[in-house]
Structure formats: C-alpha cells, structure tokens
Structure 1
Amino acid sequence: MIRMNVRRGRVRSTLLAAALLGSAAPALLPASQAAAVPLGRVCLFQDQQGANGAGHVAWSIRDPKNSRHWIWGATESINNATKIDAGRPNGSWIQGGTWTQMRGEARGKKPIDLHTYDYYRCINTAGGNLAAAQKTYEHIKGNGYALLNNNCLTKALEIFRSYSPALTSARLPSGQFKSPNYYFTTSLNKARGWEKARVY
C-alpha cells in the first residue's frame, strides 16, 4: 500500500513538472515504441593469416528496417597484386541475405567463409543507409587497389562511413597505412563503442 501511494505521488509530480515545463519537456516514448527505433549495425571480420600475416578483412552492414537482412562483402586483391589501376577488376564483391547465409550455413550466397575468417567485432548505430553504402561499394569496386592506402580495410571503412555518418573518427579511425590486423585489434580497441572481438 505504501509503495502504491509513493508511485502515485511520483506520477503526479512528473505530470505536474511536465505541465509546468510545457513544450520544453521532451516527449517520452513508450517502451514498445522505443524498442522499435531503427538500429543499424556494422561488423568487421578478420582473417589473421591473410596478406602474409598482415591480415585481411571483410565487412557487413545490417538493414535498420529489417534486422534479419544483411549486406556483406570484401575486396580480395587479384593474383596478390599490390597495385591495380582504376577501372580494372580489384576483387571487390558484395552479397545480401541473412546472417546464416553470410556465414555459409545456408546455400545460395557467397559467404564470409567460416574457414577463412577468425574473429569479428561490431558496433551499433542509430540507423543506417543501405542505398548510400551500396553506392559507395559501386565506387570502390572501380577505383583500383593499392596495398597501403586503398585496400580491403580502407574500402570497408568507406562503406561503413557512408552507411552511418555517426561513425566519426572517434568511432571509426582511419585505416590508411595500417595493416588490417593492427587496425582490428589496436585501432578498434581504442575506438569508442566497438564490441570485443568474438570468434567467428
């Protein structure tokens, strides 16, 4: 009985405060609506042995309007080339489907191969723009390849930034002149908001 009176008193106080503040008070969303706010997510996948031990990465982004749908891909240099001119195929590819399809547990899609990649780590975003990310992919698949500054890592980061402008340098540091393994462990350990690496 005391708890109910206290609760009623708190509700009255909250309503009174809201009435006094008028439109200056922010509207609170019911829990059901708050849970429905679109949520984006990006993940980076690490192949520790790739590029002769410097590492290799693949990427994925989640559709904020459909949490079951993902887009994923990678840039895999052709014939271990360290430089590919713009306009030539640079080994970039893209797929879309479920997380299970991305892992290759369901057929029909080119996966981020469980036998190749060792770890992954993700970060949530307030939303995401799949169309912008796909447009960036179309650009990067034709802009060549350079081992140190236009590679699997820098291309993945470009896609992430176009998907969510909230991924500023504090959350998504530059990958220029960094090996994928160094970036995946050291750079992302220092960045804000990234989850710890998980075994893939």
Structure 2
Amino acid sequence: MFGKRRPRKTSIAGSLIIFAAISWIVGLLFFVAAIPDKVTDDGSKSEAIVVLTGGSMRLETGLDLLSKGAADKLFVSGVHRGVDVAELLRVSRQSPGKLDCCIALGYEASDTHGNAVETANWVRENGFKKVRLVTASYHMPRSLLELRHVMPELEVQPHPVFPDHVKTDSWYRWPGTAALLVGEYLKLLLMPMRWLWIDLVG
C-alpha cells in the first residue's frame, strides 16, 4: 500500500519542481525583454537629473545631460564619503567651476533601495515633481520599481546607459552578462519580501 503511494507523491513533487523551473525561466525572459535598448526620450526637460552610482557611463551621462540643459539640477546618489563635487568633476574630465553649483551628492545609499530612499528625500526637499533617472539599462527596471515604491507620485523619465561589457543581445552566449542579468532578476524577485520586512521593522 505504502509502496504504491510513493511514486505518486514523487510525481507531484517532480511536477511542481518542473513548473517552478519553467515559471522562473519564463520570468527571466520577460525581465530581459523589459530591459530598455534605447533612450525613448532624450529631448524633454526635467526638473532634475538623478544618477545612481555603481557602474560605468552613468555619471558621465548625467553630467552631459546637465551641461546640455536637460535639467537645472543633478543629484548623484550613493557617492563614497570623502568625495566632493570637484573630485567627481575632475574624474569625469569636466571643468570644476562650470557645473558644481548645480550638483548635489548623496552619501547614505549603499544599494538600490537606499538610492531610492535617498533620492526621494532629496526630491521632496526640493519640491520636484519630475526627474530623469540615469542608470544602466539592466539596472533600470529594478531602480524604477524601487523609486516608485517609495515615491509613487513622482514622474520618472528613464534614461538608460549601455555599458560596453554588458551584451544584452544574445545575452545567453555571454557568461558574464548572463550571470549579471540572472543576479539582477533574483534581486527583483526578492524585492517584495524586502519591502515587507522593511515595513515590519520600520
């Protein structure tokens, strides 16, 4: 009697594992498809530009947008302590005296959720309603969700950058890119639980 039930239980467990694996893969494919492959709006003006540090081309793109008048203010979130505006401008090969009056730095964020909280605080302090968000294309979906979670009323214009080392076309053929995207997807899946935990602990 017991010997006959074991295959059925094993079959159910196996089916659940297969279903979960297929769902995970399908979700990953949808996530990759949602990664922007171009800047959809690089002409309209925002009240501020927000740059999330942590990857190549982000700060340079933000400074270039500021110099072209895409916004009057630039906020850089997640800056290492001890780094000031002049240092950032020198590293980015910008004139220290040209843009430093229009740049604010945030030193508190150490991850994407921290970026969102730090950005929301700065945006509220300045009374802004519309910002242009600059971060890597693969990082954009999670960054938008985090920012909209902490400040749903804010209008956010995505401005992705495209690092050369991230090969989103045929990404599965590039082990480095595949690992990066899978890691980003896993972080995205864990976000609701993290939000719940943060809400519970205050």
Please confirm whether the aligned pair reaches a TM-score higher than 0.5, indicating the same fold: no
* TM superposition score normalised by structure 2: 0.28
Identify, as 1 or 2, the structure richer in strand. Answer: 1
